[in-house]
Structure 1
Amino acid sequence: MAGRKRNSAEDIVRKLRRADELTAMGKTQDEVAAELEVSSATLYNGRRQYSGMDTDAAKELKELREQNSKLKRLLAEAELEKDALREVAKGKILGPAAKRAAVDMLVTTMNMSKRLACKAVGLARSTYSRIPIAQTPADPDAALRTLLREYARMNPLHGFRRAWAHMRHDKGMQVNKKKIHRLWKEEGLQVRIYHPRKRAGISSCPQVEADAPKVVWAMDFQFDSTIDGNAIKIASVIDEHTRESLLNIVERSITAQRLTDELDKVFALWGGPPLVLRMDNGPEFISHVLQQFCRDRVGISYIPPGTPWNNGHIESGGTSLWGINNRLRKKCLNRNYWTSLLEARVVIEDFKDDHNNRHRHSSLGYLTPAEYAAQCTHNHQPVEG
């Protein structure tokens, strides 16, 4: 059976005009419909839509209705795209991997078609369909990616340069730094850390440049607590030139006398005191006990109050980016809960040993502090005032 014939707007207008002529001749509605080969309902609907129109007007009305329908569809798709982008993320979505993940989310959660989701995100459908080589068994860098992910898990504050130094010096892998950077970004291992703007403080006392070992030792305290709420106090001393950690005191309370006793042991262990001890204005550091201990033995360089950047190699706060206390806080104290003072002593001592013997400093040519100190031949060059 042949399908029903669909009349165009022009045909409907012609048949309506013929129907008027037949009606004027005295024929009934059913007879008119039979002669025109349409149903009575078709004639009724045709009169309601096109009555009083000529052929051109009917054609124009049909085109306007089609354009209106198309505009409504486009507007609906545009609004759907806006909703989709608001659902995905704020700002631009950069990179094929991020866009591919956004398309997957829109398809699964919002039941959007892949075509519309790709259009909303701005990703070519061919790019979305192509499987990245990193997700296939043929990826030649699969083993290296695994090592980088494991390194990032163990060292969450490190960037790709330290990861490259670890692969190059510790693992013995001949790998290009740019390749490590590319894989580091592809795996999403970048760490964004807020760095406050550095400000230049003006010291109230002469500053000595640590241009050789045993010239300037920086000293500072840090605090934590065990799970029962009791305080833990940590004293640290480092050589500003070699970055070596020289002192590790972990106690509930550290008096000035205990501090001087431990400093005396450190001086004896390292063959004598440095030229200068740099410290802040804490109560232990300005005490008469420490003043008497340092008299005629070692100079004291106090930083101005409220300027931790002047002691940036050890300070934990302010603009100290590379301070050992900053690293100790983020990599050790913030990641552990101490059940006892003994546990804190053991873990912090292990951390400082790792800092001296395994942590590679970019400022030291990616050597560890112990390696750098062993081969350092610098001598202090006093600056004449």
Structure 2
Amino acid sequence: MKRARFTEEQIIAVLKEHEAGAKTADLARKHGVSEATIYNWKSKFGGMEVSEAKRLKAVEDENTKLKKLLAEQMLDAAALRELLSKKLVGPAAKRAAVAHLKAVMGLSERRACTIVGADRTMIRYSSSRPPDAVLRGRLRDLAHERRRFGYRRLFVLLRREGEPSGINRIYRLYREEGLIVRKRRARRKAVGTRAPILVEARPNARWSLDFVHDQFANGRCFRILNIVDDVTKECLGAIPDTSISGRRVARELTTIVAWRGKPSLIVSDNGTELSCNAMLAWCKETDIDWHFIAPGKPMQNGFVESFNGRMRDELLNETLFFDLDDARTKIAAWVADYNGERPHSSLQYLTPAAYAATLTATDARLRNPDQLRRSPVASPAPQGVQNPETLTAAG
């Protein structure tokens, strides 16, 4: 603030001379001020003594300070209202908040940092980390190709291609690129505790069957018969058709048994296609045990239900089918990718085919003690992913 040329004592002395009879023009000429200034002094300090003038000046200064504090508080409140919709968690969010206050409200960097609660050195920090443009581009391509894959499966796919980065770096880039998969809410959850179903750790120990429904682009419905090996998690068959009878199920199972071998047990629900006379006769002819779950308890057939969920999430909800031939082609391609390329989380991110080969090789080594001493149980997994247990109980 500009310093005044005259103090209160000097102004009151000039006014005393005016009251004593001195002319206004003479006083203005004598003290080097205009006549208007003399009249302004008179309106403000007329009839006052020096002590009263000093007291008035102190009150004015105090009011000026209070107004300034009130203005600052109102400015801070307005700035905080601007940031109500922003979560100030982490340096990046605080940098964005400070930039927003500077751009919208015209605040200084120091003032904005005080309001946000950030250090100015952190706000001014610029990362020297390389941009990783090639890795980011490949990560985006994989995520767009497999839109329902999380960062763990994408990490396994990148590691297969020879990418040496660790899983933490992939996760950071995955978040920065905004590739997080939106979780679909389940309609209901199982209540209570369930005992695990112990199954021998070998292929064909138990199969599971179930149907999945979908529709073509023209609105016509069709269904898919899914057959899954509960131990290796392989999809042995995914047969789409507009109608699948019990005799059709028996024919498809006969075809699969011819190249896969007989299972020890098959589990399914109580659908009419699976509990008809044709299926009962097929079980008697092939001498295969068939177990029906309790009515209304799909959690008892959890392996194929889990597979159905993955199929619906990654294929049916993401693909448009135009006719039956188109559905057969796309479903067959997805099943081949599921068995041979897609990392499976319950198998420690091995593919079902690779895990089945591991079980088969382990079974051969267990039967040959000399070979068991010469070779390891399983090949090492990528960094960040643990090796699967070779012999475990499925369930």
Q: CA deviation at 1:372?
A: 1.5
- Higher mean C-alpha displacement, 213-222 vs 158-167: 158-167
Q: Which residue of 2 aligns with 1:320?
A: none
Q: CA deviation at 1:73?
A: 2.8
Q: Which residue of 2 aligns with 1:180?
A: 170
| Match 2:139 to one of 121, 142, 148 | 148
Q: Secondary structure at the match of 2:165?
A: coil
Q: CA deviation at 1:208?
A: 4.9
Q: Which residue of 2 aligns with 1:344?
A: 327
Counterparts of 2:316 and 2:161 in 1: how far apart (Å)?
A: 28
Q: Which residue of 2 aligns with 1:319?
A: none
8 Å Cα contact 2:45/2:53 also seen in 1? no
Do the aligned partners of residues 335 and 192 (structure 1) sit closer, same or farther apart at CA in structure 2, a change above 3 Å counting? Answer: closer
Q: Which residue of 2 aligns with 1:224?
A: 214
TM-score scaled by length of structure 2 = 0.77
Counterparts of 1:308 and 1:71 in 2: how far apart (Å)?
A: 67
| Match 2:205 to one of 212, 215, 228 | 215
Q: CA deviation at 1:373?
A: 1.1
8 Å Cα contact 1:231/1:252 also seen in 2? yes
8 Å Cα contact 1:243/1:369 also seen in 2? yes
Q: Which residue of 2 aligns with 1:371?
A: 354
Q: CA deviation at 1:49?
A: 5.3
Q: CA deviation at 1:60?
A: 2.0
Q: Which residue of 2 aligns with 1:244?
A: 234
CA deviation vs aligned residue, 1:92-146 (integer Å, no higher than 9, x gap): 33333344444455555x3544625555544444434443235xxxx17433232
Q: CA deviation at 1:45?
A: 4.6
Counterparts of 2:36 and 2:295 in 1: how far apart (Å)?
A: 94
Counterparts of 1:286 and 1:39 in 2: how far apart (Å)?
A: 113
Q: Secondary structure at the match of 1:330?
A: helix
CA deviation vs aligned residue, 1:150-185 (integer Å, no higher than 9, x gap): 2222223323322222122x2133333333334334
User: Does 2:236 match 1:235?
Assistant: no
| Match 2:32 to one of 37, 40, 56 | 37
Do the aligned partners of residues 230 and 16 (structure 1) sit closer, same or farther apart at CA in structure 2, a change above 3 Å counting? Answer: same
Q: Which residue of 1 aligns with 2:366?
A: none
Q: CA deviation at 1:263?
A: 1.5
Do the aligned partners of residues 37 and 114 (structure 1) sit closer, same or farther apart at CA in structure 2, a change above 3 Å counting? Answer: closer
8 Å Cα contact 1:85/1:120 also seen in 2? no
8 Å Cα contact 2:233/2:352 also seen in 1? yes
Q: Which residue of 2 aligns with 1:69?
A: 67
8 Å Cα contact 2:79/2:101 also seen in 1? no
Q: CA deviation at 1:336?
A: 1.8
| Match 1:263 to one of 236, 240, 253 | 253
Q: Which residue of 1 aligns with 2:382?
A: none
Amino acid at match of 1:147: R
Counterparts of 2:37 and 2:296 in 1: how far apart (Å)?
A: 90
Q: Which residue of 2 aligns with 1:94?
A: 89
8 Å Cα contact 1:232/1:251 also seen in 2? yes
Do the aligned partners of residues 34 and 307 (structure 1) sit closer, same or farther apart at CA in structure 2, a change above 3 Å counting? Answer: farther
What do you get for the CA RMSD once the two structures are aligned?
3.4
Amino acid at match of 2:134: A
Q: Which residue of 1 aligns with 2:180?
A: 190
Counterparts of 2:116 and 2:318 in 1: how far apart (Å)?
A: 38
TM-score scaled by length of structure 1 = 0.79
- Higher mean C-alpha displacement, 279-288 vs 58-67: 279-288
8 Å Cα contact 1:84/1:120 also seen in 2? no
Counterparts of 1:270 and 1:284 in 2: how far apart (Å)?
A: 22
8 Å Cα contact 1:360/1:368 also seen in 2? yes
Q: CA deviation at 1:226?
A: 1.4
8 Å Cα contact 2:205/2:265 also seen in 1? yes
Query: What is the aligned-residue identity percentage?
Result: 31
Counterparts of 2:291 and 2:114 in 1: how far apart (Å)?
A: 63
Q: CA deviation at 1:334?
A: 1.5
- Higher mean C-alpha displacement, 337-346 vs 143-152: 143-152
Q: Secondary structure at the match of 1:360?
A: coil
8 Å Cα contact 2:12/2:45 also seen in 1? no
Q: CA deviation at 1:250?
A: 0.9
Amino acid at match of 1:214: N
Amino acid at match of 1:94: V
Counterparts of 1:93 and 1:304 in 2: how far apart (Å)?
A: 51
Do the aligned partners of residues 330 and 100 (structure 1) sit closer, same or farther apart at CA in structure 2, a change above 3 Å counting? Answer: farther
Q: CA deviation at 1:216?
A: 1.7
Amino acid at match of 2:312: R
**Structure 2 gap ranges (5+):** 364-390
5 Å matches for 1:268-283?
A: 268-272=258-262, 274-283=263-272
8 Å Cα contact 2:153/2:343 also seen in 1? yes
Do the aligned partners of residues 26 and 171 (structure 1) sit closer, same or farther apart at CA in structure 2, a change above 3 Å counting? Answer: same
5 Å matches for 1:116-131?
A: 116-131=111-126
Amino acid at match of 1:269: W
- Higher mean C-alpha displacement, 290-299 vs 242-251: 290-299
8 Å Cα contact 2:15/2:42 also seen in 1? no
Q: Which residue of 2 aligns with 1:81?
A: 79
Amino acid at match of 1:357: G
8 Å Cα contact 1:15/1:36 also seen in 2? no
CA deviation vs aligned residue, 1:305-356 (integer Å, no higher than 9, x gap): 44433333221xxxxxxx2222221221112222222212211111111000
Kindly tell me the number of residue pairs found equivalent between the two proteins: 358
Amino acid at match of 1:72: L
**Structure 1 gap ranges (5+):** 316-322
CA deviation vs aligned residue, 1:61-83 (integer Å, no higher than 9, x gap): 23312322321332232122222
Q: Secondary structure at the match of 2:274?
A: coil
Do the aligned partners of residues 55 and 34 (structure 1) sit closer, same or farther apart at CA in structure 2, a change above 3 Å counting? Answer: same
